[in-house]
């Protein structure tokens, strides 16, 4: 009886294992891309609005001026109180005007949306330069989800909500 020579090899080589791991990684990535949840435009816009409101609050304190938020059915923009009147914030500022995505509705829980003409803008809400701000809430909603941005209180500007 002839026995095969013992070559000392048992198992897989490092290259073979790395190839298998690369293939498994590619397959996992492809599966994730097809199974991830659909994007929620209301949540994305609510997160953007929360960031913008935090920036506005910071700008009010650092510049020592009132910064106002003006809402409309199309979106929102920011105003600054200078020389006794409200003016649009400079376009080069980090507080850019935002348009709402299609099917997203902005609801002001504090007061009705601005109906003021562009010639005499008046904000729906403003940040005080002392940092002592009134409480307010704004909601962004679609048919599937509702997100609420709350201002005031010990938690600052916070985002809550989710699927309906």
Per-residue pLDDT at 164:
67
Interval 117-123 mean pLDDT: 70
d(CA 30, CA 37): 14
pTM for this entry: 0.71
User: 108 or 109: which carries more pLDDT confidence?
Assistant: 108
pLDDT in tens, 23-82: 998 888 888 777 755 678 889 999 999 999 999 999 999 999 999 999 988 999 999 999
Short-list 49, 42, 34, CA closest to 144: 42
d(CA 78, CA 86): 10
pLDDT exceeding 70 applies to what percent of the chain? 84
Per-residue pLDDT at 69:
94
Per-residue pLDDT at 112:
46
Residue 154 has pLDDT above 70, yes or no: yes
Short-list 134, 151, 135, 128, CA closest to 62: 128
pLDDT in tens, 74-86: 999 999 999 999 9
Mean pLDDT, the chain, integer: 84
Short-list 44, 52, 149, CA closest to 95: 52
pLDDT exceeding 90 applies to what percent of the chain? 48
**Domains defined along the chain, listed by start:** 41-163 (3.55.40.10)
* Confidence category of residue 152, pLDDT binned at 50, 70, 90: confident
């Amino acid at each position: 009886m002839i026995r095969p020579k013992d070559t000392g090899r048992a198992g897989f080589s490092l290259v073979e294992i790395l190839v298998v791991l690369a293939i498994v990684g590619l397959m996992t990535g492809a599966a994730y891309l097809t199974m991830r949840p659909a994007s929620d435009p209301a949540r994305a816009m609510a997160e953007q609005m929360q960031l913008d409101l935090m920036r506005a609050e910071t700008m009010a304190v650092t510049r020592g001026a009132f910064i106002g938020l003006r809402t409309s059915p199309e979106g929102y923009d920011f105003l600054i109180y200078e020389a006794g009147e409200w003016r649009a914030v400079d376009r080069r500022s980090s507080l850019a005007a935002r348009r709402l995505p299609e099917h997203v509705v902005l609801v002001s829980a504090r007061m009705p949306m601005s109906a003021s003409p562009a010639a005499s803008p008046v904000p729906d809400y403003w940040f005080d330069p002392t940092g002592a701000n009134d409480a307010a809430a704004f909601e962004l909603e679609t048919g599937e989800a509702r997100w609420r941005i709350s201002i005031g209180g010990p938690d600052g500007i916070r985002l809550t909500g989710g699927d309906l």
